[in-house]
Homo-oligomer: A and B are copies of this chain.
């Protein structure tokens, strides 16, 4: 039985999808969430979560919806990345994809990823297998964007729990940027922005001095941004 094709147009149209590169930070490693494809094409291969644009939503809403459907994650940092439109990028036919990248506080969602019927898994960036479609390329571009952006916008905090220590923050930066930073200079730069709230409480139970907890002062950042302040590491 042939499927009904009820939506007709004067000129041919590509299908439009969104794909999302979801970054998380855990165990000192930058990770990305991938989904194992259950159907052809690329059955059994890992791919970025994504899906088709519906007629009553824009691509931002589509990306958030797909993300929620496939992982249960809501209300996270998400930003448009790039639109991929090569003629042969999908063997099923002409598909244009608007890609996004998202940052997840992994501490909040550790349990839910993989709960879904679909097989979802966090991969350390260095251990990502060959992906379906042109998703390797999308991931590479997302990574470059993240590396560029984390230096001059305070998006790193989106990857950490609400409360974090300076060594944790530095580990995050070192993992994302793949370079070593001087502990004392990093500390000074971050604290001089006055964007961290000091909780005057330290990590306990370690065999050495525990670091103090901080959290990011979002309100103050917005104030300062409006006055022309620029975050930079």
Q: Are A83 and B80 in contact (CB under 8 A)?
A: yes
Cβ-based interface call for A14 (8 A): yes
- A16-B16, A96-B16 are contacts. A87–B57 as well, Cβ < 8 Å? yes
| Cβ contacts under 8 Å, A11 to chain B | 7, 15, 52
| Cβ contacts under 8 Å, A13 to chain B | 7, 9, 13-16
**A96 vs B85: C-alpha distance when bound (angstroms):** 13
Copies of this chain assembled into the complex: 2
Cβ-based interface call for A20 (8 A): no
A64-103 at interface with B (beta carbon < 8 Å)? 80, 82-83, 85-87, 94, 96, 98
Cβ-based interface call for A185 (8 A): no
Interface extent on A, as a size class? 20 to 34
Cβ-based interface call for A200 (8 A): no
Q: Are B10 and A8 in contact (CB under 8 A)?
A: no
Cβ-based interface call for A53 (8 A): yes
Choose among B10, B14, B58 the residue that contacts A85 (Cβ–Cβ < 8 A).
Answer: B58
Cβ-based interface call for A219 (8 A): no
A133-190 at interface with B (beta carbon < 8 Å)? none
| Cβ contacts under 8 Å, A8 to chain B | 5-9
**A4 vs B8: C-alpha distance when bound (angstroms):** 9
Cβ-based interface call for A205 (8 A): no
- A5-B9, A8-B7, A16-B13 are contacts. A96–B53 as well, Cβ < 8 Å? yes
**A15 vs B82: C-alpha distance when bound (angstroms):** 18
Cβ-based interface call for A40 (8 A): no
| Cβ contacts under 8 Å, A86 to chain B | 58
Sample of 22 A–B contacts (CB below 8 Å): A4-B10, A7-B10, A7-B12, A7-B13, A8-B8, A8-B9, A9-B13, A11-B15, A13-B14, A14-B16, A16-B96, A53-B85, A53-B96, A55-B87, A55-B94, A58-B87, A60-B85, A80-B82, A83-B83, A83-B98, A96-B96, A96-B98
Pairs of residues from A and B, 10 with the lowest C-beta to C-beta distance, nearest first: A5-B8, A8-B8, A13-B13, A58-B85, A59-B85, A7-B12, A83-B83, A83-B98, A7-B9, A58-B86
| Residues of A participating in the B interface, judged by any CB pair closer than 8 Å | 3-16, 52-53, 55-60, 80, 82-83, 85-87, 94, 96, 98
